[in-house]
Amino acid sequence: MINPALIERIFSAASIERWNDHPHPEAFTELGKQAHKMIIAWIIALSNSEEEDFDLDLNAAKGTVDMDALIECGMFEFLHRVVVTDIRPPVFHMLMRNKDDRQKLNNWVEQQLRDEIGPIPGGFAERFNVYFNDENSHPTERRILKAAHYLATFWEFGFIENWSGEMYGIEKTKNEINAQVWELSDIPIVQRILEAMRAREGAFVSFTGQLNFQKRWAQTQRIPKTSVLGHLFFVAAISWLLTNEIGACSKRKQNNFFSGLFHDLPEVLTRDIISPVKKSVEGLNALIKNYEKEAMQERILNLLPEPIAKQLSYYTQDEFENKTRNGDSIVIHEQELDENLGTNENDPIDGKIIELCDKFAAYIECAESINNGIAPKALRDAKSMLYDRFKDKVIYGYEAKNLFDPFL
């Protein structure tokens, strides 16, 4: 069972401001940073070739990337970061350089998270401990995540530097970030992104980062405010946890995470038009979907090499439908994916899980703002509507009320 305290822990990252000792736009939160980091990690992982051939058969490619481990290690690092958020980065990095201090800090983090991550099936808590106490575990995935972390920071700093002017210490911060990213520039895709953010993959990194600036519920006051980018990571994380709960295969866990991470990507083109507006004008929703499909091809998919673009299209097209794929043939399934369809060979995506988690994210956004004292009628009505719609849903034997009820 997913611990409600873990859900609160994940959502709390929407309130963690980044760069809070520098002048900065309010858009930069830890939740958004983690989304951007995992998007960049996905690009690096799929670009897993020194020859730029973008081989999608990661199990056969040299420098093999374990995508299950990449997601799980990303979750490890995210949860660790949320717990230690009150420790300023220079102090944190100093502690992590000393083995004894690092072990003490990691043990303390594990104690804080024990009750929250213990119920996650399959030994997640045990692997969490191994990851932070054995630096030799998952070296490839660890290095990809490190590169993605620094590239996301590098992208953010481009804005921070412009805001900071001649602020004391800004040149030192710039030099440290540059040193961190260039340390990993022997990874070909990292080098290309650094050399020119206008390059194809670099443009995609910037494009997705801009979702930091697009607010959800833009016309409704809330605390905390959330961006579309932060929302993507929350949906991805909850989708992944729920997919673990139902005992799904490896490919479903991967696909459901990345489908959650990308499901709203077309909204960078149409803005975050809320469902009541889409449904109130006859034909508007279908018109928006058609526009999004055309714009996705023209303005987003064209930024990526064809194999990666094809994978992204699979994640974002008909995002709330259960799907399987055989080569280029995609099949939509009205029913739940059974033991024959939900296998690695069928490349399955549980769109209904993505939809549930997307609506649960909206429910949490309402509930947390109401709890924080900002409770306009639009949020109260939306919370009630979302609960009534999903309280009796059962997906793969998992009762949706287990997600919703603790936040009534």
Say how far apart CA 165 and CA 159 lie, in whole Å: 11
The pTM for the full model equals: 0.91
pLDDT(283) > 70: no
Confidence category of residue 268, pLDDT binned at 50, 70, 90: low
For a pLDDT cut of 90, what percent of the chain falls above it? Answer: 64
- Tell me whether domains 4-191 and 228-407 share a fold: yes
Contacts of 171 (CB under 8 A, 6+ apart): none
All structural domains of the chain with their residue ranges: 4-191, 228-407
89-106: per-residue pLDDT in tens? Answer: 777 777 777 888 888 899
The answer on pLDDT for 108 being more than 70 is: yes
pLDDT of residue 390: 96
The answer to whether 383 touches 217, Cβ cutoff 8 Å, is no
Provide the Cα torsion 213, 390, 344, 339; round to 10°. 180
Q: Which long-range contacts (CB under 8 A, 24 or more apart) does 19-24 make?
A: 19/156, 19/160, 21/88, 22/160, 22/163, 22/164, 22/167, 22/170, 22/173, 23/160, 23/163, 23/164, 23/167, 24/159, 24/160, 24/163
According to the model, what pLDDT value does residue 380 have? Answer: 97
- Residue 288 makes CB contacts below 8 A (sequence gap 6+) with 270, 273, 278
Q: What would the 3-class secondary structure string for 267-292 be?
A: HHHHCCCCHHHHHHCCCHHHHHHHHH
Q: What percent of the chain has pLDDT over 70?
A: 90
Residue 93's pLDDT is 74
Contacts (Cβ under 8 Å, ≥6 apart) of 139: none
Judged by DSSP in three states, 373 sits in: coil
Q: Please tell me the distance from the alpha carbon of residue 360 to that of residue 325, in angstroms, as a whole number.
A: 27
Does the pLDDT of residue 51 top 60, yes or no? no
Q: What are phi and psi of 348, to 5 degrees?
A: -80, 150
| pLDDT (0 to 100) of residue 11 | 98
pLDDT in the model for residue 63? 54
pLDDT of residue 281: 55
Phi, psi of 383 (to 5 degrees): -60, -45
For residues 181 and 151, the answer to whether their CB atoms sit within 8 Å is yes
For residue range 335-384, what is the model confidence (pLDDT) as tens digits? Answer: 999 999 999 999 999 999 999 999 999 999 999 999 999 999 999 999 99
The architecture CATH gives domain 4-191:
Orthogonal Bundle (1.10)
Give the DSSP letter of residue 343: S
One of 1.10.3210.10, 1.10.490.10, 1.10.3720.10, 3.40.50.2300 is the CATH number of 228-407, namely 1.10.3210.10
Question: Higher model confidence: residue 103 or residue 112?
Answer: 112
